[in-house]
Chain A
Amino acid sequence: AQSVTQLDSHVSVSEGTPVLLRCNYSSSYSPSLFWYVQHPNKGLQLLLKYTSAATLVKGINGFEAEFKKSETSFHLTKPSAHMSDAAEYFCVVTLNTNAGKSTFGDGTTLTVKP
């Protein structure tokens, strides 16, 4: 079994300040973890992925995430928020044994204030 908890439903930051979107997971096996971003009326775009290689993963648009097995966390960060980062973010866990079937977090809405 696997589950994902995004700890904040809404996060609001000012432009130019750091972003932290929190994600905790539970999994019976070593999972693959992903962060996706969704803009209004669009599909999901992959930001980054962790698949048992380096624990610090760098993604697109300046985002990165660190896999911490001891804390079962995979938090998403960005040093400096941009207005265009305002969107919905989803943390996703996939077990390789589950034919790619994924479990999605409930999402975090990121608001960026000017």
Chain B
Amino acid sequence: GAVVSQHPSWVICKSGTSVKIECRSLDFQATTMFWYRQFPKQSLMLMATSNEGSKATYEQGVEKDKFLINHASLTLSTLTVTSAHPEDSSFYICSALPPGGGQPQHFGDGTRLSIL
């Protein structure tokens, strides 16, 4: 069964709306989770590292105020796309990192976000 649950899987909303995406680690406590964005036919682009109980670490070029990340518990991280616009339309994927070094990330099934 799924190790990481991501919800919702599809979102269609109007420009200016804020959208929240949830990522839950089901099998282990994850102090570290990651948020990625994927454009069609491209690889994953890391947006930010979500750290439980502290501020997220954003990659260069990613707007912190646009993409709000909250990791309030060891099993849940959320990404909120604030005041979304059509250029924010994309496929967003989260992952959770099990404790211990050298472990593979476990990925959610992704969220397809379409802003009209």
Contact = CB atoms under 8 A, between A and B. Distances in A.
B93 A44 contact: yes
Kindly state the interface size class of chain A when it binds its partner: 20 to 34
A41 B112 contact: yes
A1 B50 CA distance: 21
B105 A102 contact: yes
A63 B74 CA distance: 33
A26 interface: no
A52 interface: yes
B32 A100 contact: yes
Interface string B13-43: 0000000000000000000101000000011
Given A96-B101, A96-B102, A102-B105, A43 B32 contact: no
Contacts of B112: 41
14 contacts: A36-B107, A42-B110, A43-B6, A43-B93, A43-B109, A43-B110, A45-B107, A51-B102, A90-B44, A96-B101, A100-B34, A100-B105, A102-B34, A102-B105
